[in-house]
Structure 1
Amino acid sequence: MASRYANCPPISELLVQRGISSVEEAERFFHPSLKNMHDPFLMPDMDKAVNRLNRAMGSKEKILVFGDYDVDGTTSVALVYKYLQNFYSNIEYYIPTRYDEGYGISIRTIDEAAASGVK
């Protein structure tokens, strides 16, 4: 990698571990833009999720944004929650506790959400 990253072996090594092997890929990694994002509708059933979310907002349903306690889970919850807050107010978030609830969504969490009015 003949660039400013080549002068820093630890960064170069991390980039290569991520599958980034060219200067162009490194530039895209460090300077992301919306035009380089993957189309979220390539994910299976994304259209169903968007339609359900729109229906919930149109019906003024309570929406719960659920995420895990790990870094990507909490970051995702914060991003989705803050984004939806721009358009909708009947929204809450929930991040389970690691030691009491474990990893992932549980029947207990679903039952508690339903009891509070989340569909």
Structure 2
Amino acid sequence: MDSLPFPSAVVVWLDPRRPDFGVKLVEDVPEALYSLHRHGLEEAIRGPQSGLWKSAAGALVQAEVDPSPSNLRVAYEAFLQLAKCVAPVPTKIRKVVCPRAPRERIASFFSMA
């Protein structure tokens, strides 16, 4: 079954211990489920953010089984919250890698020039 994409990509570090290593754009439920066990997010299951990890995992599985718009939105929000707490990407980098608003898209275009 094809999964609907997230409303916007979630940006996560490929290796939070090495920020110079780069970032990954997680754009749908299967990528988010895969990312739960990588990119430093897997360590959250045993740490203080274990509740966020379990909440994100449950919401993502629910969205995988029933990809309704409401389930997809809940999964996106839960995964985004987990990524922000466990492996945050600075806003400056996120705006260049994954601009959301038209103003961010224009600014990212000029920052790469």
- What's the TM-score, normalizing by structure 2? 0.26
- What's the TM-score, normalizing by structure 1? 0.25
Higher strand proportion: 2
Larger Rg: 1
